[in-house]
Chain A
Amino acid sequence: MTFKESRRQTFYMYLFIAPWLIGFLVFALYPILASLYYSFTDYDIIHPPRFIGLANYIEMFHNELFWKSVVVTLKYTFIGVPVQLLLALGFALLLNQTIPFRGFFRTAMYFPSMVSGVAMSLLWYWIFNPQIGLFNYILSWFGIHGPAWLMNPDTALYALIIMTLWTAGTGMILFLAGLQGVPASLIEAAKLDGAGRFKTFLHVILPMLSPVLLFQLIMSIIDSFQVFTQAYVMTQGGPNYSTWFYVYNLYTSAFKEYRAGYSSALAWVLLIVVMICTALIMKASDRYVHYEGGGRK
């Protein structure tokens, strides 16, 4: 690449990203730096922050609830993310075929993602109700005596994971949008070469979907590490700390314990860990993700 070309690229890049860049510097940077500063202080919101160095960071490694929240969150992420992605991809492939009522089916699949939180949580109480809930009713057809789900420490986390599967519609939409970019000519060419459905998927469709897949993988991990609302609304971190998620712990530290400093330190540890995960995934993805565009090769 010539010097002139590299200048040109830099100039246009900054020109296009300027809206975000300015927004970042104006709106995002101060809160981010402030929270970094708070993380080194003892700050109870009422009194001015007092610098205490790394004390917050050291404390968390001796804190029982911190470790509990780490384990719970990792479990949630490692089980929830793959299942959710597979389900979303499956739906998208199904709904990308020419079948009757396709628009209706797509809307229906996406429906749970549109419903506001409170309405959904009410529904979930009802579905997971051990006495009269739909879930255990269906299990009883197969002779299974279902657990108490949200009220049982062994199952509450899984109940929350099952809940998130209802919102696989979001991932489906993204895959669908990605599938529209797969040139039909490629698929036809694969067919002419005698590739089966599965082979076509693996060698033609999947590579074309890989940018979307990468996006979803990274976003699911970011979101999943930050899971909070379900625990806040449905289980309050219980029973017996079984849904005491990382961000739930962080929120409690800030607003129930008045420890904004410690809570900010938790946030920064999360940021660093997720950042490392993301960087690793991005790095690994260079080999697998297929970008058509010339910008990056």
Chain B
Amino acid sequence: MMNKLRLSSVFLLTLIFVAVMVLSGCSGGKSAAEVTPGTDNNSSKSGGSKDEQVTITYYTIDSEDRTFVEKLVPDFEKEHPNIKVKVDKAPYEQFDSKLQTLIAAGKSPDVTSHYGYGGFAEYYNKGMLLDLTDLIKEDGFSAEANNIPDNLIKIYTINDHVYGIPLNMYVTLMLYNKDMFDEAKLPYPTSDYEDKDWTFEKMVEYARPMTVISDDIAKTQYGLDFFWSERDNRPLYFGADPYSEDTWTNGGVPSETYFDTPEVMAAYNKLFDLIFKDKVSPTTEWSKSVAGQNGDPFVAGKIGMSVGGSWNLAGANDFPFNIGVAAVPWGGNDKVRSTLYVDPLFILKDSKHPKEAFEWIKYLIRADIQEKSIDLSGGNPPVNTEAAEVYYKHFEGIDPQDIKNVYEGAVKYGFESFNHLITNYSQINDMFINEMQPIETGHKTVEEVMPVIQKKVTDIIKR
């Protein structure tokens, strides 16, 4: 009995130890080798023979307006019999963590975009992106031939090296509630960016008669909601650039920031005055209460004019009121009036088939595919100006000419959104949201908070 017991326990323990050895042995040394990027042999790999079938992975958000690309794959594969495209996806909230995990495990996707929290500058500075310059040269690809405005390509070019090809473009525009304008007997705002009368002051003037503050929550409404880009980006609207000039050429690492300067603080004060002095804009608390799960009080019909991203147009066909689009008024900056949100396609550095990946990118920005995508996605704005003509007509009850004016004006007076251009941006943005909260509730002043923010931005950028 004794011996039997001993034998079996020895056996069991041996089994366990073998298991440990095998496992730690095979997995221990891996992680490092796994992660080493294979940049050196990229070119040799991609030059593989024509008949060899390769599979590339396109990683995107798992939502209807992104996964529609699956419907474009069969035609692409027909055109390129040697390439198979696999679409991998994750919900928005898990997009970053899954992407990073895939890369860490050596399963990096080939093509993706900055669909999660992080932006281009983040990816670029971490060295995640493949330099497309040689591929472009080799291929003879030209933005012009694809009707992509040259200044859009420049957004993702650093020191003459191209890292991303634009796919979709959202702009900042004004949506207005026609019913509220009619009720206040106001003329509709213009969609013409060249109309010199359309200024910030004029907008505030329009907002006043539409603002009703009542004890009855069902009656309260505001004239204006000014969500021009992210918080740190907003001073630019008034002509105060809070980041130093070199930021835009060196890959998003500002050598200096100016959040505590009088100009920047004056800009913020002008914005908070809309809530506390002019009282034509709602507090964050009211906005969030009314917006509820939909994220924007405009859709509840409680806001006269809403300045924000053009994605707000997407739900337009469901709004229970009539809407129009207008230009962002002039606010003191002659060059910039609209933030652009250009979503590019990247090839990740660890891609084993950059050439084939580039074919896929080229396919997605072709005029006919971009046009097809508008309907399939339910209204994604194409970068291809030819396809854009179709996009302008996509919205019921809104004059296509207005949308065209607003888009073209925005490109002319546009600047790419900071969230794509500045390194460590998701931390900067988190910090702004939290630090500015006391100003939004009226507990602190701009003058008290901005010096703290200035210090924290500097710390984050240094990281």
Given the known inter-chain contacts A4-B2, A256-B426, A256-B427, please indicate yes or no for A46 contacting B128, CB distance below 8 A. Answer: yes
Given the known inter-chain contacts A29-B20, A44-B126, A239-B437, please indicate yes or no for A49 contacting B32, CB distance below 8 A. Answer: yes
In the complex, chain B residues whose CB is within 8 Å of the CB of A129: 289, 292
B145 within 8 A of A: no
* CB < 8 Å neighbour of A46 from B8, B19, B24, B127: B127
Cα–Cα distance between A207 and B391 once the two chains are bound (Å)? 71
Cα–Cα distance between A125 and B294 once the two chains are bound (Å)? 11
A33 within 8 A of B: yes
Q: How large is the interface on A (under 10, 10 to 19, 20 to 34, 35 or more residues)?
A: 35 or more
In the complex, chain B residues whose CB is within 8 Å of the CB of A33: 24
A25 touches B20 (CB 8 A): yes
Interface centre among A29, A46, A133 (most CB of B within 10 A): A46
Nearest CB of B to A19, in Å = 12
A47 within 8 A of B: yes
Nearest CB of B to A11, in Å = 5
A29 touches B24 (CB 8 A): yes
* CB < 8 Å neighbour of A130 from B5, B285, B430: B285
Given the known inter-chain contacts A46-B37, A47-B127, please indicate yes or no for A236 contacting B96, CB distance below 8 A. Answer: no
Nearest CB of B to A176, in Å = 35
A255 touches B433 (CB 8 A): no
Q: Please report whether the interface of chain B is mostly helix, strand, loop or mixed according to DSSP.
A: helix
Which chain B residues (272-310) contact chain A, with CB distance < 8 Å? 284-286, 288-290, 292-293
A8 touches B463 (CB 8 A): no
A132 touches B5 (CB 8 A): no
In the complex, chain A residues whose CB is within 8 Å of the CB of B292: 125-126, 129
A25 touches B289 (CB 8 A): no
* CB < 8 Å neighbour of A15 from B6, B12, B97, B435: B12
1/0 per residue, CB under 8 A from A, across B314-345: the answer is 00000000000000000000000000000000
B5 touches A48 (CB 8 A): no
Q: How large is the interface on B (under 10, 10 to 19, 20 to 34, 35 or more residues)?
A: 35 or more
1/0 per residue, CB under 8 A from B, across A136-151: the answer is 0000000000001001
In the complex, chain A residues whose CB is within 8 Å of the CB of B437: 153, 238-240
1/0 per residue, CB under 8 A from A, across B101-141: the answer is 00110000000000001100010001110000000000000
Cα–Cα distance between A129 and B9 once the two chains are bound (Å)? 61
Cα–Cα distance between A49 and B8 once the two chains are bound (Å)? 41
A11 touches B31 (CB 8 A): no
B103 touches A45 (CB 8 A): yes
Nearest CB of B to A147, in Å = 10
A98 within 8 A of B: no
B23 touches A25 (CB 8 A): yes
In the complex, chain A residues whose CB is within 8 Å of the CB of B290: 131
Nearest CB of B to A239, in Å = 5
A8 touches B16 (CB 8 A): no
* Interface residues of B, Cβ cutoff 8 Å to A: 2, 5-6, 8-9, 12-13, 15-16, 19-20, 23-24, 27-28, 31-32, 35-37, 93, 96-97, 100, 103-104, 117-118, 122, 126-128, 217, 284-286, 288-290, 292-293, 349, 424, 426-427, 430, 433-435, 437-438, 441, 463
* Interface residues of A, Cβ cutoff 8 Å to B: 4, 7-8, 10-11, 14-15, 18, 21-22, 25-26, 29-30, 33-34, 44-49, 122, 125-126, 129-133, 148, 151-153, 232-233, 236-241, 244, 251-252, 254-258, 260
The contact sample of 15 A-B pairs, CB cut-off 8 A, is A7-B6, A10-B9, A14-B9, A25-B23, A26-B23, A33-B24, A34-B31, A47-B37, A48-B35, A129-B292, A130-B285, A151-B289, A254-B97, A255-B100, A257-B426
